[in-house]
Structure 1
Amino acid sequence: MALAAGEAAGRPVPACVLGIDLGTTSVKAALLIGAEQEQVVAESCSRETQAYTSSLEAGPQGMEQDVWRIIRALNECLAALPQQQLQRVSHIGITGQMHGIVFWKRDKGCKWTESGPGPTFEPEEVSHLVTWQDTRCSPTFLSSLPLPQSHISLATGFGCATVFWYLKKSPGFLKSYDAAGTIHDYVVAMLCDLRKPLMSVQNAASWGYFNSRNKSWNTDILKESGFPIHLLPEVRDPGSIAGRTVSAWHGIPKGAKVGIALGDFQCSVYSCLTEKTDAVLNISTSAQLSISMPPGFQPPDMPDPSSAVTYFPYFNGDYLAVAASLNGGNVLATFVDMVAQWTEELGLRVQESDIYTKIIKAALAQTKSKLSIHPTIFGERHVPEQLASCLMQTGVRRILGSGSALARNEVLRQEVERVFPFPVVYGKDVDAAMGAAMVMFHRK
């Protein structure tokens, strides 16, 4: 490798930055090597988590994941990366699926063990992760909660909404824990042995009951409703350092700087957005179309529940205008799973990969059809009852495509190119793990 050649020639070898994305269905890690402003992706690794599990409290409306399985996938990812490069990691950027919440005991959140090339940690007294896909908070339940002082509407799957649900439906559950955060906040807290969890403005806004303008929780509103505010993490700006690793980790030296956990959506955009006139379209498990707002832009004081556009905190005080959909690659996966079940009931067993192949071939061969499909089977946050059923003026000149569903599906790419009246460019190394690494690289 070029790194080894540089070392052999006696030139100083630049440090590495590790980016980690704890996604909805998989974990990805990427190593970024750079000197000054040059950066090269050294290695990357991805592992499926297979973490979905049943919810005892919420039943079929619950969407939970086993944190132990997520951390196992993370450990497998890091174990697959080159030890020589991991030993040079000086900074770690971590991101993951937003909105969700996991609870833990501060003194017993994990245990460190010797394993393979170096120490690793495993979850100990940790709850399941209640994900952003969770639907236990019905519209009726959400309407019974106090109105947030925030520009973002409260929705099911948001961390604070989930805490309210436990408070009213299963209060004994909350008494077992004294800390909470997103899944990536949890990993940062374990790596740095934080006594009080830290959370970036990006993740705090995704939980609800957070005022992005003054960067504070709606503590007065929450206190009046009996909300356990001791569970709320301390909030800091995205890009800041949360702490240092308290132990060597998979060969990464003790004392490596760990950035505060970031939103996966913001990191995905950061990995590819270079021009103000670009719009980023990401289609993975869900889908988002975003543009960067002008410097100094501030979101409205109150949300518009009927609007499909939300303003997400980005970096350096900027915002992204985001049209976010709950429906993306998950719709294709659900459709394929349904077809597989039908064929099995008819006495046939067909691999899902074969179904994907035939669907794509059929779609590519189709030229015109009067069939109208509204594939919003997961609803939308601004219209949750809509089940299965804006760019010229902002100066957008190009669409940057990203996301696993878009990368793997030619039909989706053709539809994107048909719908948008702009050139469409598909990025390389465009993902949240890469974005998290780039954030730390640019802030070294």
Structure 2
Amino acid sequence: MKSFKIFTLLAIALRVIFSCAQKPLQTSSQSTEKINIENISTKLPWSERMMRSEMKRFPQAWQLDFFKTPKWSYPNGLVLKCAELLFKKTGKKEYYDYIKGYTDELVNEDGTIKTYDIKKYNLDMLNSGNVLLYLYSVDKQEKYLKAIQLLRSQIDNQPRTSEGGFWHKKIYPNQMWLDGLYMAEPFYANYTKLFSTGAEAAKAYDDIANQFDVIQKHMVDSRTGLLYHGWDESKEQQWADKQTGLSPNFWGRAMGWYGMAMVDVLDYLPENHPGRTKLIGYLKSYSEALLKVQDTKTGLWYQVLDKGGQKGNYLEASASSMFVYTFAKAARKGYLPDSYKAIAKKGYDGIIKNLITVEKDGTVNLNQNCAVAGLGGTPYRSGTYDYYVNEEIRSNDPKGTGPFILASLELEK
């Protein structure tokens, strides 16, 4: 009996020692740490503080963008990309669960996606495909793969301009919007890297690079270097200039989407692809143009970029966050000079000082976000200066909080 007790105690001791020795090998997916959404610690980095605040505001990820019912949409994918990066960084499983909760609510067992209609050929719907690509890489569920393939099939039949540029949506014929480059191209490039090889991959990468080529050819203003929000090849829209087909203003967030599209697509475009050099060149000229319209006092950018002093214009959070992310990531990757790190930091400090407020329980708010802006449609959106500055302004729009988290993660590196 005595020897049995000694053996038992020895076994327990060895188990404890072995367990402690194995602890450093624990993977992030094994983390069971709970996030306290009731009180958000000010000791955490801004990236986590904002992510936790979003999860407190929107306990289910489908609620992001203030949705009342589950909907497949791009703001969800934007914020869930942040959750993915934070899960990889911290190992806190609640970030992963937040992602999975969205996809399992929206993706059916047969791979169809609730509220998604492929026949609308809406580029916005492709952005959340990045969430599926991540989840499929983790647990290989067949429904995720089928949903990924469904979204990818949209690209094959997406209506195009005469030079191969994707229409933004079927209901917006002959039109390219800067927004669409972020909605479609990172997903398209990510998918290609994961699933395509040989001639098929080469064709896809050429197609992706061409989307940026068409934008640069038609939408860059030769005087300022800024890019217009939209271009109508047919020149039929009321908002379109009858000679150029361009919309009349430089909307901050449109250029923000475009910058994020460039730095994210470069994550996937092969090193030897000729489009890579061109894309980095586009990024440099884009960035130089933005520096000229950055508010020197705050480091922020305006809703209408080149009209900072005009009545009604305001320092806008989503665009400012997008530019900070673009500059910080591009400088880290070596696409832009190191000087852009300081430029990004100045913009980021301006966001913290001027656009962030914190509640008593630690909940973080990002203020002065344009809720939405577009061109055409019903009611008709004219693209005039007055149109942009009179669209709804709201706090905690995911099109601002998502880029703020991305910017925070870059600068926290």
Q: Same fold by TM-score, threshold 0.5 exceeded? A: no
* TM-score (norm: length of structure 2): 0.29
Q: Which has the larger share of strand?
A: 1
* TM-score (norm: length of structure 1): 0.28
Bigger Rg, structure 1 or 2: 2
Q: Which has the larger share of helix?
A: 2
Larger RCO, structures 1/2 (Cα 8 Å, 6+ apart): 1
